[in-house]
Structure formats: C-alpha cells, structure tokens
Amino acid sequence: MAMSEKNEIRKWVKEHRSGLNVSQEARWDDGICLRLLELEEINRAFCIYCYASMRHEAGTWKFMEHLFKQGKCVAVPKVSGKNMDFYVITGKSDLEEGTMGIMEPKADCLKINDTQAPMIVPGIAFDKNKNRLGYGGGYYDRFFEKEPDHKRIAIAYDFQIFDRIPADPHDKTVDMIITP
C-alpha cells in the first residue's frame, strides 16, 4: 500500500513540475536561494554539499553561483554502486552526465569528506513532520545512515509539501525544509 502511495505522489509531483513555466520556476528558485543564503548554517560553513538540480527540481544553480563567489567549497554527489561520494566543483564545467542522466562531477574533481558540511537535499515530496520522499533509490537514506551529522536542508516548491507522506523506518527525515 505505502509503495503505491509513494509512487502516486512521485507521479503527481513530477507531472506538476514538468508543467511549470520558466519564469515562475526562476522566481521560486530566486526565493529559495535568498532564504538559503540567510541561513546561519550556510554562512558558518566552509564546505556545502549540494545537488546539481535538473528536470524542474527546486533549483540549486543560482545558490551555488553565490557560494562560488563567496569562495566557499561546493561539493556535489557522484553515485558509485549503491553509495554516493561528494566531489568539489568550481562550476558547471566540472560536471558531466552520469548515473540516470544526473549531472555528476568529472573524474578529475577532488573527492571530499566533510562529515559536518550542511547539505542541500533534493526530494520529490516532504511533509510537515520533515519526512522526505526521494526518487526511490535510497542513496540519501544510506548516506545519512553512514554520516548522520550533516545538517539536512531540503529545498522544495510549495506544491511538494504534503500534510503527510508515507515513511518507512529506514527513511531519514530532514532538519528543515526551505520553500520559496
């Protein structure tokens, strides 16, 4: 039951996201970016773990551009087997298409291991109890199992926030959810 419910939510959000118009999306991403830049956790940190947004996910590019300008270390995930590792990038040119068409760091990027870095977490849907519904691969849940100390900052558009989403015992919650 929960699995089909999860898939229904995934389908609904993906359809909703693909219907977004570009200027609306850009406005929302600006709002998210501004709110992230105000966070104490982000300002204090030297290194920030972030995902490279694509396919109408809540956008991270504007945010990462600001971090680059501030001279901060920005690291993005690369999938290896069932796990994710984080690599430092200095811009879009450091990325190439990897697993499932996701943009990943190129082979010559430096692998980093900062277990305290605040982390911008993607997701399909979130709820008021800070549960997260991802894409179903379990990569982030496994990562947080291994490295529990990251401050988990989810970003999402308002329509991705539900009263309740189904959560399994192995699903990891986020610490905060930032919307436009």
pLDDT at 1: 46
The answer to whether position 83 is within a domain reads yes
Binding residue per annotation — 101? no
Indicate whether 70 belongs to any domain: yes
C-alpha to C-alpha distances, 20 to 13, 59, 124, 149, 164, nearest whole angstrom:
11, 13, 15, 34, 23
Domain housing 132: 2-15+44-171
Q: What is the CATH number of the domain that holds 106?
A: 3.40.50.10420
Residue 2: per-residue pLDDT: 64
Q: Is 7 annotated as a binding residue?
A: yes
Tell me the HSE value of 67 on the side-chain side, using a 13 A CA sphere: 29
- 52 inside domain: yes
Q: Do the domain assignments include residue 164?
A: yes
**Ligand-binding site membership of 59 (annotated):** no
pLDDT in tens, 16-45: 999 999 999 999 999 999 999 999 999 999
Beta bridge partners of 152: 119
State the total domains in the chain. 1
pLDDT tens string 136-166: 889 999 999 999 999 999 999 999 999 999 9
Consult the annotation and say whether 138 binds a ligand.
Answer: yes
What mean pLDDT is reported for the chain?
94
Which pTM value belongs to this model? 0.94
Residue 26 in domain: no
Q: Is 110 annotated as a binding residue?
A: no
Ligand-binding site membership of 51 (annotated): no
Does the annotation place 139 within a ligand binding site?
yes
